[in-house]
Amino acid sequence: MSALRDELLYPELEDFDECPYCGIGEPTTLDHYLPKEEFPEFSVLSTNLIPVCGVCNSNYKGRIWIKNGNRLFLHTYYDQFPDEYLLEASVTVTNKVVINFSTIFVAAEPYFCNIFNHHFDKLCLNKRYKRKASAEIIRKRRSLERVYRRNNSANDISNFLREEANGLEIDYSKIIGKLFYIELCQTQ
Protein backbone atom coordinates (compact mmCIF):
# COMPACT_ATOMS: atom_id res chain seq x y z
CA MET A 1 0.00 0.00 0.00
CA SER A 2 2.82 2.41 0.79
CA ALA A 3 4.44 1.79 -2.64
CA LEU A 4 1.10 2.48 -4.32
CA ARG A 5 0.69 5.56 -2.19
CA ASP A 6 4.14 6.87 -3.18
CA GLU A 7 3.53 6.11 -6.81
CA LEU A 8 0.26 8.05 -6.81
CA LEU A 9 1.39 10.95 -4.69
CA TYR A 10 4.83 11.43 -6.22
CA PRO A 11 4.51 10.43 -9.86
CA GLU A 12 7.39 11.08 -12.21
CA LEU A 13 5.35 13.38 -14.32
CA GLU A 14 5.83 17.03 -15.01
CA ASP A 15 3.05 19.46 -14.23
CA PHE A 16 1.58 17.29 -11.59
CA ASP A 17 2.14 19.61 -8.71
CA GLU A 18 -1.40 20.87 -8.15
CA CYS A 19 -4.42 19.15 -6.68
CA PRO A 20 -6.67 18.05 -9.55
CA TYR A 21 -9.81 18.83 -7.53
CA CYS A 22 -9.09 22.51 -6.91
CA GLY A 23 -6.03 23.32 -9.03
CA ILE A 24 -4.48 25.40 -6.24
CA GLY A 25 -3.41 23.05 -3.42
CA GLU A 26 -0.51 20.66 -3.16
CA PRO A 27 -1.61 17.03 -3.54
CA THR A 28 -0.43 15.45 -0.32
CA THR A 29 -3.23 13.00 0.46
CA LEU A 30 -5.10 10.27 -1.38
CA ASP A 31 -8.83 10.66 -1.71
CA HIS A 32 -10.97 7.56 -1.96
CA TYR A 33 -13.26 8.76 -4.72
CA LEU A 34 -15.76 6.09 -3.72
CA PRO A 35 -15.60 6.21 0.08
CA LYS A 36 -13.87 3.27 1.66
CA GLU A 37 -16.61 2.89 4.29
CA GLU A 38 -19.15 2.25 1.56
CA PHE A 39 -16.85 0.48 -0.91
CA PRO A 40 -14.15 -1.34 1.08
CA GLU A 41 -13.52 -3.52 -1.98
CA PHE A 42 -12.17 -0.45 -3.84
CA SER A 43 -10.12 0.94 -0.97
CA VAL A 44 -6.75 0.06 -2.55
CA LEU A 45 -7.78 0.22 -6.17
CA SER A 46 -5.44 2.76 -7.76
CA THR A 47 -8.14 4.28 -9.97
CA ASN A 48 -10.20 4.98 -6.85
CA LEU A 49 -7.30 6.81 -5.20
CA ILE A 50 -6.83 10.40 -6.33
CA PRO A 51 -3.89 12.47 -5.09
CA VAL A 52 -5.47 15.67 -3.80
CA CYS A 53 -4.73 18.44 -1.32
CA GLY A 54 -5.60 18.15 2.35
CA VAL A 55 -8.08 21.03 2.15
CA CYS A 56 -10.18 19.36 -0.55
CA ASN A 57 -9.91 15.97 1.08
CA SER A 58 -10.37 16.79 4.75
CA ASN A 59 -12.38 19.99 4.78
CA TYR A 60 -14.79 19.61 1.93
CA LYS A 61 -15.09 16.32 0.09
CA GLY A 62 -16.59 14.16 2.83
CA ARG A 63 -18.23 10.81 2.28
CA ILE A 64 -21.25 11.88 0.28
CA TRP A 65 -20.29 11.51 -3.35
CA ILE A 66 -23.69 11.06 -4.99
CA LYS A 67 -27.09 12.69 -4.64
CA ASN A 68 -30.30 11.65 -6.41
CA GLY A 69 -28.21 9.48 -8.68
CA ASN A 70 -25.93 12.36 -9.68
CA ARG A 71 -22.22 12.36 -8.87
CA LEU A 72 -21.09 15.39 -6.88
CA PHE A 73 -17.40 15.38 -7.80
CA LEU A 74 -15.38 15.03 -10.95
CA HIS A 75 -13.35 11.89 -11.22
CA THR A 76 -10.14 13.30 -12.57
CA TYR A 77 -9.02 10.04 -14.20
CA TYR A 78 -12.24 9.44 -16.08
CA ASP A 79 -14.12 12.70 -16.61
CA GLN A 80 -12.89 14.53 -19.69
CA PHE A 81 -12.77 18.30 -19.46
CA PRO A 82 -14.45 19.90 -22.48
CA ASP A 83 -12.47 22.50 -24.42
CA GLU A 84 -14.84 25.33 -23.55
CA TYR A 85 -14.31 27.77 -20.70
CA LEU A 86 -16.01 26.45 -17.59
CA LEU A 87 -15.35 29.29 -15.19
CA GLU A 88 -15.82 33.00 -15.26
CA ALA A 89 -14.68 35.77 -12.99
CA SER A 90 -16.44 39.01 -12.18
CA VAL A 91 -14.61 41.94 -10.68
CA THR A 92 -16.08 45.02 -9.04
CA VAL A 93 -13.78 47.84 -8.09
CA THR A 94 -14.96 50.35 -5.53
CA ASN A 95 -12.67 51.33 -2.71
CA LYS A 96 -11.61 47.70 -2.83
CA VAL A 97 -11.47 44.98 -5.42
CA VAL A 98 -14.23 42.36 -5.10
CA ILE A 99 -13.92 39.28 -7.22
CA ASN A 100 -16.22 36.31 -7.68
CA PHE A 101 -15.82 33.12 -9.64
CA SER A 102 -18.70 31.09 -11.01
CA THR A 103 -19.24 28.16 -13.34
CA ILE A 104 -20.41 28.45 -16.93
CA PHE A 105 -23.01 25.95 -18.07
CA VAL A 106 -21.96 24.68 -21.49
CA ALA A 107 -25.19 23.56 -23.18
CA ALA A 108 -23.42 20.90 -25.22
CA GLU A 109 -21.94 19.31 -22.08
CA PRO A 110 -24.84 19.03 -19.60
CA TYR A 111 -23.59 15.86 -17.88
CA PHE A 112 -20.11 17.20 -17.24
CA CYS A 113 -21.32 20.68 -16.30
CA ASN A 114 -23.78 19.34 -13.74
CA ILE A 115 -21.04 17.45 -11.96
CA PHE A 116 -18.63 20.38 -12.31
CA ASN A 117 -21.22 22.70 -10.78
CA HIS A 118 -21.57 20.47 -7.70
CA HIS A 119 -17.81 19.98 -7.55
CA PHE A 120 -17.26 23.76 -7.58
CA ASP A 121 -19.90 24.23 -4.88
CA LYS A 122 -19.00 21.38 -2.56
CA LEU A 123 -15.29 22.21 -2.59
CA CYS A 124 -16.09 25.90 -1.89
CA LEU A 125 -14.00 26.91 -4.86
CA ASN A 126 -15.39 30.42 -5.19
CA LYS A 127 -14.30 31.26 -1.63
CA ARG A 128 -10.94 29.61 -2.09
CA TYR A 129 -10.25 31.19 -5.50
CA LYS A 130 -11.25 34.60 -4.16
CA ARG A 131 -8.66 34.27 -1.43
CA LYS A 132 -6.05 33.19 -3.96
CA ALA A 133 -6.92 36.10 -6.28
CA SER A 134 -6.72 38.61 -3.41
CA ALA A 135 -3.29 37.34 -2.46
CA GLU A 136 -2.23 37.65 -6.10
CA ILE A 137 -3.36 41.26 -6.41
CA ILE A 138 -1.67 42.16 -3.14
CA ARG A 139 1.53 40.63 -4.46
CA LYS A 140 1.22 42.70 -7.65
CA ARG A 141 0.27 45.92 -5.91
CA ARG A 142 3.73 47.52 -6.04
CA SER A 143 4.14 46.75 -9.73
CA LEU A 144 0.68 48.14 -10.46
CA GLU A 145 1.41 51.34 -8.59
CA ARG A 146 4.71 51.75 -10.43
CA VAL A 147 3.04 51.23 -13.81
CA TYR A 148 0.29 53.72 -12.95
CA ARG A 149 2.68 56.40 -11.71
CA ARG A 150 4.61 56.47 -14.98
CA ASN A 151 1.79 58.27 -16.88
CA ASN A 152 -1.08 58.33 -14.39
CA SER A 153 -2.81 56.13 -16.92
CA ALA A 154 -5.45 53.49 -16.26
CA ASN A 155 -4.77 52.22 -19.78
CA ASP A 156 -1.23 51.34 -18.80
CA ILE A 157 -2.67 49.27 -15.95
CA SER A 158 -5.01 47.50 -18.37
CA ASN A 159 -2.15 46.69 -20.71
CA PHE A 160 0.01 45.47 -17.85
CA LEU A 161 -2.77 43.16 -16.63
CA ARG A 162 -3.43 41.91 -20.15
CA GLU A 163 0.23 41.00 -20.49
CA GLU A 164 0.08 39.16 -17.18
CA ALA A 165 -2.94 37.22 -18.46
CA ASN A 166 -1.26 36.43 -21.78
CA GLY A 167 1.76 35.13 -19.94
CA LEU A 168 -0.25 32.45 -18.15
CA GLU A 169 -0.85 29.10 -19.77
CA ILE A 170 -4.42 27.93 -20.08
CA ASP A 171 -4.40 24.96 -17.79
CA TYR A 172 -6.54 24.21 -14.83
CA SER A 173 -4.12 25.54 -12.25
CA LYS A 174 -3.42 28.82 -14.07
CA ILE A 175 -6.91 29.51 -15.33
CA ILE A 176 -7.98 31.25 -12.14
CA GLY A 177 -5.23 33.84 -12.42
CA LYS A 178 -5.84 34.24 -16.14
CA LEU A 179 -9.56 34.84 -15.71
CA PHE A 180 -8.86 37.27 -12.95
CA TYR A 181 -6.39 39.33 -14.98
CA ILE A 182 -8.57 39.33 -18.08
CA GLU A 183 -11.58 40.49 -16.10
CA LEU A 184 -9.61 43.03 -14.10
CA CYS A 185 -8.00 44.63 -17.14
CA GLN A 186 -11.46 45.21 -18.62
CA THR A 187 -12.85 46.69 -15.40
CA GLN A 188 -12.97 50.45 -15.34
User: Would you say 22 or 91 has its CB closer to Zn ion?
Assistant: 22
Provide the 10 A C-beta neighbour count for residue 116. 23
Q: Does 56 bind Zn ion (CB under 5 A)?
A: yes
Other C-beta atoms within 10 Å of 134: how many? 15
Q: Compute the distance between CA of residue 103 and CA of residue 105 in angstroms, rounded to an integer.
A: 6
Q: How many CA atoms lie within 13 A of 159 on its CB side?
A: 7
Cβ 77 to Zn ion shortest distance, Å: 15
When asked if residue 53 is in the footprint of Zn ion (CB under 5 A), the reply is yes
**Nearer Cβ to Zn ion, position 51 or 165?**
51
25 scored as a contact of Zn ion (CB under 5 A): yes
3-class secondary-structure state, position 42: helix
- Residue choice 21, 116, 120, 160 for contact with Zn ion (CB under 5 A): 21
CB of 5 to Zn ion, least distance (A): 17
Q: Where are the alpha helices (DSSP H) in 44-153?
A: 54, 110-122, 125-151
Strand partners, 89: 101
Q: What is the number of other CB atoms lying within 10 angstroms of the CB of residue 38?
A: 13
Closest separation between CB of residue 52 and Zn ion, Å?
5
Q: Is 177 in the site for Zn ion (CB under 5 A)?
A: no
Q: How far is the CB of 63 from Zn ion (least distance, A)?
A: 17
Nearer to Zn ion, 53 or 89 (CB): 53
- Residues at the contact surface with Zn ion, assessed by CB under 5 A: 19, 21-22, 25, 53, 56
